[in-house]
A and B are shown apart, each in its own frame.
With several copies, the nearest count.
Chain A
Amino acid sequence: MLDLKEVKVILETALLASPEPLSLNALRKLFDDEFGAETLRRVLEELRQDWAGRGAELVNVATGWRFQTRAAYQRYLDRLNPEKPPRYSRAVLETLAIIAYRQPVTRGDIEDIRGVAVASTVLKALEARGWIEAVGQREVPGHPVLYATTKAFLDDLNLRALDELPPLEEMERLVDQSGVAYR
Chain B
Amino acid sequence: MNQIRPPTPLARIYGEPLLEIPRDLYIPPDALEVILDAFEGPLDLLLYLIRRHNLDVLDIPMARLTAQYMEYVEVMRAPQMELAAEYLLMAALLIEIKSRMLLPRQAEAAEETADPRAELVRRLLEYEQMKLAAQGLDALPQAGRDFALVQVWFEQVAEARLPQVSPDDLRNAWLGLLARARVTRHHKVTREELSVREHMSRILRRLRQREFVEFGELFETGPGVAELVVTFLALLELAKEGLIAISQQAPFAPVYARLFREADA
Contacts and interface: CB of A to CB of B under 8 A. Distances in A.
A18 to B, nearest CB: 7
Interface residues of B, number: 99
Contacts of B253: none
Interface in B228-261: 241-243, 259-261
Interface string A136-157: 1111100000101100000111
Interface stretch (A1-9, A30-38, A40-48, A87-95): A87-95
Contacts of B188: 168-169, 172
B167 A138 contact: no
- Chain B CB within 10 Å, residue with most, of A104, A175, A177, A179: A175
Given A115-B180, A116-B41, A157 B130 contact: no
A147 B147 CA distance: 27
A157 B165 contact: yes
A149 B201 contact: yes
A137 B243 CA distance: 8
Nearest to A159: B167
B177 A94 contact: yes
Contacts of A114: 40-41, 43, 127, 130, 177, 181
Nearest to A105: B197
Nearest to A149: B201
B183 interface: yes
B201 A83 contact: no
A161 interface: yes
Contacts of A97: 130-131, 133-134, 136-137, 170-171, 173-174, 177
A145 B192 CA distance: 25
A156 B241 CA distance: 30
A93 B165 contact: yes
B163 interface: yes
B81 interface: no
Given A67-B153, A68-B152, A136-B259, A115 B41 contact: yes
A71 B177 contact: no
A104 B150 contact: no
A56 interface: yes
Contacts of A83: 161
B133 A168 contact: yes
A148 B238 CA distance: 13
B126 interface: yes
A162 B126 CA distance: 19
B149 interface: yes
B104 to A, nearest CB: 28
Contacts of B171: 97, 165-166, 168, 171
Contacts of B123: 113, 115
Nearest to A154: B198
B150 A175 contact: no
Given A93-B137, A166-B133, A178-B54, A88 B178 contact: no
B118 interface: no
B103 interface: no
Contacts of B264: 139
A157 B140 contact: yes
Interface in B101-152: 123, 125-152
Contacts of B145: 74, 84-85, 87
Interface in B56-89: 56-58, 86
B163 A74 contact: no
A171 B54 contact: no
Interface stretch (B1-9, B21-29, B204-212): B204-212
The 4 closest A-B pairs by CB, nearest first: A182-B51, A148-B201, A182-B179, A116-B41
20 contacts: A17-B148, A19-B153, A66-B150, A67-B150, A69-B148, A69-B152, A86-B161, A94-B40, A94-B134, A94-B176, A96-B170, A97-B137, A104-B201, A116-B41, A140-B242, A149-B201, A156-B142, A163-B194, A178-B57, A182-B178
Interface of B: 14, 40-44, 48, 50-52, 54-58, 86, 90, 123, 125-155, 157, 160-181, 183-184, 187-192, 194-195, 197-198, 200-201, 204-205, 207-208, 241-243, 259-262, 264-265
